[in-house]
A and B are shown apart, each in its own frame.
Chain A
Amino acid sequence: MATSRQKSGLRTEQGGHINRGKPIHFTFDGKAYQGFEGDTLASALLANGVHMVARSFKYHRPRGIVAAGSEDPAAIVQIGPDAVETDPNTRVTEQEIYEGLMASAQNCWPSLSFDIGIANDVLSDFIPAGFYYKTFMGPPLSWMRFEPIIRKAAGLGVAPTNRDPDQYDSTNRHVDVLVVGAGPSGLAAAKAAADAGARVILAEETNSLGGALLSEPEDSVSLGGKPSDAAIEKMAADLEANPDVTVLTRTTAFGYYGDNFVGLWERVTDHQAPLDRGKHVPRQKIWRVRAKQVILATGSLERPMVFDGNDRPGIMLAGAVRTFLNRYGVLCGHKAVIFANNDSAWATAFDLQKAGSQIAAIVDVRRKISGELLQMAAERGIPIFAGSAIVGTKGRSRVTAADIRLVDETGAISPKSNWINCDLIATSCGWAPNVALFSQSRGKLYYDDDLQAFRPGASWQQERSVGAANGSYDLQDCLDEGRKAGAAAASDTGFKKRIPKVLKASHSMLLQTDLQIIPQVPSPKVAKKVRAFIDLQDDVTTKDIKVAIQEGLHSVEHIKRYTTTGMGTDQGKIANLNAFAFIADHLGKSVPDVGVTTFRQPYKPVTMGALAGQHVGAHFMPRRTTAMHPWHRAQRDVIFEPVGDWLRPRAFLRDGEDFQQAVQRETKAARTGIGVLDASTLGKIDVRGPDAREFLNRIYTNAWSKLSPGKCRYGLMLKEDGMVMDDGVTACLADDHFHMTTTTGGAANVLGHLEDYLQTEWPDLKVYLTTTTEQTAVASICGPGCDRLIADLLDDLDPDPETFKFMDWRDAHIQGIPVRVFRISFTGELSYEINIDASYGLWLWKKIFAQAKCEGGGYDITPYGTEAMHVLRAEKGFIIVGQETDGTATPIDLGMNWIVKKSGDFVGRRSLTRSDTSRDDRKQLVGLVTEQPDYVLMEGTQIIATQEEGTAPVPMLGHVTSSYLSPNLERSIAMAMLESGRSRVGQTLYASRKGDSAMAVRVVGTDFLKEREDGNI
């Protein structure tokens, strides 16, 4: 009979929160298994007798399932059918099974049972604490040598090879009360707050509400006279029915940030078979919750015992064993040894025995155990070893025996070994409040001498910790605390309506009483041979911590980093407190004197996909486009350029052309035929008010008092430090009304800059600003004789350059549609800019081409992109803010003294005469021509004085800011910021080239067209 049980009897006959009517099939490492709906991968594997599911990070030791929830340290696997749909580092205790689930072990090669990396275990003496630090600090090449080997051996899961095929969502919520954790206290809190009328979110990490109550035997607890299951169901139904309450299961609060901002991570479909997942349902969802009040009901975590050989599969937390039994109906073993230092683990023994397991022993380190407890064990015929400990274990992939010995008050152990066979060791070193989120909220902890654990102390934010998270383990206390906190939180947000009824609990739970912590169980072995693990994921043993302390590290933060304890993907949830206690013991200090390491966000790893949410792919960022964009896109081959958020055509390629050829053609066409540029992206600001002129006088470096309506002027804007920030043409519309343009990328900055001065420095100035960038679409038409085309287009304006002069503007119409025409130029050619309401932009653009091509037209018209525009303006020596300037150039540096007025203040004026800005040897803007005319310098090239670079550091005279091949000058041209540049005109300098000799360059003026006229190039 016992044998048949071993084959099939790991599932209890009845009970548990699983659906026995719905079997689920899944595979682990290629082997088929069956579980039930409601099982996690962990409970389903345990029901099939599988304990070992992984190997550890450093020594590749077998790792089993230790805990039942997200605190499990090392039972992580790879989920998914192939290299695309695969999810590494998934905790088996959290992954619910679904039909067809495929899981596999990771971090082992070639297989889980035979792992070559186990050599690391044998060589563990050579991977001591601080291995990485020591390797880094060693000879320069040692890390280089070790790194590839370590990478191969230490990899955790395998990243997917392709783009994530899943969809994720993110959303924002404001609530009055956020409750984290739906155990008894969390439920009571949520109910109380909701009853008072507050907006509530209740977030539960697992798939069902109830928390620790789900780990109790069926019908053993009643709430308000009802069995707990029914009571929970009723509370859940009440909450669900309230439209202002959102209950989220499978949702982890992963981060607690400033001003009660909490990130929730919901796994929406991870528990469903792929075919059952709704087509439009996101796989996971991030809820960014801003809560007026937060209630933390995050429960408590059990600490494992630290003893030699405590890492074998089959050695589990006593509470987890009980959860697997009562929540999932799974026996974790047939012959169990319980190893405890408190009463709570005894309940595991009693429940296990009742369900059919044999309890080989209860080992309790305490010498004094309550008579009641002893009697209960005696009635059940369970052997008790009081004042004893497990000092060693046997078994490779599963524990097979425990060595139980007496330990006296001095820590001395009885000399004779006492091996007892077992297939499960359930340990408990007491329970500690789960204070991670509380700590993230920047609240301060304190050490409770009774609990021998840290509890929430002084709060910083609007938050309350309740129930086990607050160190209250009694069910009635949890319910009361939760209810009070829920009502108080609601009241603090203005909902004082009702005080909900007290829910009376009746139960007979065994709590953690008379706790007696021993930081490490002594071992009969020589110290060097003892392997007592503190951190099961990172393979940190007590020996590693001793080494760290011996090497002089006494701060808990330093020891953590040196040994990597608590630094795995589990963040040491069950390891940290044991580490602190061991450090304290070893240093002869108290635990509070040693202190804690910082709890940081996230509480557990969150997928990058969920964090990105819907803002991926084409939705990643706004790409602003102009009214003419559909036309640009429709051309055969167009290269676009992102300019700020905008997307602008860079060059329109014709058949057989490459980019450079297209740019050359377009640049040439704008000076010989007619070029058309979409200039809609330039920033535009409407400036109006009686003090508008005075405002412009203060904002620009030049004077605006005399600009009359109908005229435009170029202006340069500085920051208060005297450096050029933006430029553009501003038109006078009326005495008190101006139309300002800015650079494409600078529009938002300029408006902010202007509003700042108006609102904060000069509130007395009567000026209003409104941005109008997108109101108008702009076509810039240039080239000799382009006035004839303009004349053909306009209904009612003669664009004759003799009467419509440079820097004038006029209102006109095209087919009755109002337009505003500016005679301004960024190319040096005859040029007109037509502004039209943006909704007519595409029509205007098409109209221009149609007009040019139609009968009687016959204009040689060429659309050109931003690259040709850059070449054209460089030929004329015009700067581009952000290309020639980098926030360190004054107008004087740029040779633009002509635009700086002689008298009157403006933003940045005083800075122009600072001792530093008035130096003669500052970098100044110059033109450069290469000795070899067809050689185009790379932008950013450094300019040096001699052809021989000599030895480093080579003195740098300046750098190239713009460089092009100019079809109109039939050679390359470049602009550069050069030390004392203007006094070097005529000199020959050298442009440094990587892997080649420096190229000789001649310094010239910046207006290359004029330089050619003057015969300088």
Chain B
Amino acid sequence: MATSDKLSETLADRPDRLSALSHRSPLTGDDGLLMREATHLGKLVLRLAETEAETLKIKALEGAGLPTQPCRSSVSHTGTVSVLWLGPDEWMVVSQAGTEEALQTRLHSELSGRHFQLSNVTDYYTCIDIAGHQNREILMNLSTLDMHNRTFSAGQIKGSIFGHANAYVWQLHTEPGASEIFRLIIRSSMADYLWCLVSRSARLFGMPEDTPISGEKLVI
């Protein structure tokens, strides 16, 4: 059967790891506008009592404390680990690709004895980075958040609704003078929707529009 021939070709020797937007290529627009997926970043959700977070120093986080001020993030000395405030007892630890398992183990052993929860959400979410000076404008087309630089500055992270999808938007710390980068943290299953909606909302700034994967037959 034709089907089985096709299938046998797909037997992979090596495990093939795909990010949620591996079928999309970076898109560019006017004035340095750039959208790309930040693939496979390590992501752990840490739940811990707010009162403990205030005093706790976690070595594994390399100097990044657990921010207790809402919608803020912190960065490690090395700049490789960030801790994002998601809620008063909830943080996301974002680290470089491939480091999440080791980090999870270290955090586990350091926090043992306390009441906490540590969940690996590396594949649950993916990240869409939008750089270029029109990025605030593009995000305003999608969300009711106030994206003005008076109210949204580097290091801030806010959960909201973008189009019809819940996501977080996080402004990365960038070098002075460098272009601002906003990172959308979106559930993998909705990543293609949001990617395409961003591209659609950035048409005015010269970005080509990606169309969501569609056309599946729904009618018997």
Contact = CB atoms under 8 A, between A and B. Distances in A.
Q: Do chains A and B touch in the complex (CB under 8 A)?
A: yes
Interface stretch (A75-83, A682-690, A930-938): A682-690
Interface in B180-198: 187-190, 192-194, 196-197
B78 interface: no
B188 A282 contact: no
A718 to B, nearest CB: 25
A199 B11 contact: no
A614 B164 contact: no
Contact of B116 (A618, A768, A847): A768
A838 interface: yes
Identify the interface centre among B40, B146, B200: most chain A CB within 10 Å of its CB. B200
Contacts of A384: none
A381 to B, nearest CB: 57
B16 interface: yes
B144 A172 contact: yes
Interface string B39-83: 010000101000000000000000000000000000000000000
A517 interface: no
Nearest to A776: B123
Interface in B1-32: 3-4, 7-8, 10-12, 14-20, 23
B7 A768 contact: no
A5 interface: no
A838 B124 contact: yes
Contacts of B151: 174
B117 interface: yes
Nearest to B211: A618
A791 B211 CA distance: 41
Interface in B185-220: 187-190, 192-194, 196-197, 200-201, 203-204, 206, 211-214, 216-220
Nearest to A268: B204
Given A614-B197, A622-B165, A854-B11, A837 B122 contact: yes
A638 interface: yes
B119 A772 contact: yes
Contact of B216 (A614, A615, A633): A633
Given A659-B220, A773-B124, A775-B122, A630 B23 contact: yes
Identify the interface centre among B11, B116, B188, B213: most chain A CB within 10 Å of its CB. B188
Interface stretch (A228-236, A414-422, A639-647, A986-994): A639-647
Contact of B8 (A645, A689, A854): A854
Given A622-B193, A843-B12, A639 B18 contact: no
A770 B47 contact: yes
Interface in B108-167: 115-117, 119-125, 137, 140-141, 143-146, 148, 150-151, 163-165
A840 B18 CA distance: 7
Nearest to B193: A622
Given A288-B144, A774-B188, A838-B188, A640 B218 contact: yes
A815 B47 contact: no
A625 B213 contact: yes
Nearest to B203: A280
Given A838-B123, A842-B16, A642 B218 contact: yes
Interface residues of A, number: 71
Nearest to B141: A171
A200 to B, nearest CB: 12
A839 interface: yes
A288 B150 CA distance: 19
A418 B215 CA distance: 73
Contacts of B187: 624, 773-774
Interface string A626-661: 110110010111111110011100000010000100
Contacts of A775: 119-124
B124 A618 contact: no
B196 A618 contact: yes
Interface in A278-295: 280-282, 288, 290
Given A172-B144, A619-B196, A774 B123 contact: yes
Nearest to A642: B218
A170 interface: yes
A776 B11 CA distance: 21
A646 B216 CA distance: 12
A167 interface: yes
A823 B131 CA distance: 46
A816 interface: yes
Interface string A847-863: 10111011000000000
Contacts of B17: 839-840, 843
A38 B40 CA distance: 55
B162 to A, nearest CB: 10
Contact of A626 (B122, B189, B200): B189
Identify the interface centre among A636, A839, A847: most chain B CB within 10 Å of its CB. A839
A274 B141 CA distance: 25
A817 interface: yes
Contacts of B124: 771-775, 838
A688 B217 contact: no
Contact of B163 (A280, A619, A688, A689): A619
A636 B203 CA distance: 34
Nearest to B197: A619
B181 to A, nearest CB: 21
Contacts of A589: none
B216 to A, nearest CB: 4
Contacts of B190: 622, 624, 645
B163 A837 contact: no
A663 B188 CA distance: 29
Contacts of B148: 174, 199
Nearest to A847: B12
Nearest to A684: B124
Given A282-B204, A640-B218, A850 B7 contact: yes
Contacts of B119: 686, 770, 772, 775
A619 B200 contact: yes
A1010 interface: no
Contacts of B165: 622
Contacts of A817: 15
A123 interface: no
A557 to B, nearest CB: 34
A630 to B, nearest CB: 7
Q: Which 7 residue pairs are nearest across A and B when measured between Cβ atoms?
A: A850-B11, A624-B189, A768-B117, A768-B47, A622-B193, A838-B123, A174-B146
Interface of B: 3-4, 7-8, 10-12, 14-20, 23, 40, 45, 47, 89, 115-117, 119-125, 137, 140-141, 143-146, 148, 150-151, 163-165, 187-190, 192-194, 196-197, 200-201, 203-204, 206, 211-214, 216-220
Given A619-B193, A635-B3, A850-B8, 7 more contacts: A172-B143, A622-B164, A627-B18, A627-B20, A837-B122, A850-B10, A854-B11
16 contacts: A169-B204, A618-B196, A619-B197, A622-B189, A623-B214, A629-B213, A659-B220, A688-B117, A768-B115, A773-B187, A775-B122, A775-B124, A776-B123, A816-B15, A842-B18, A853-B7
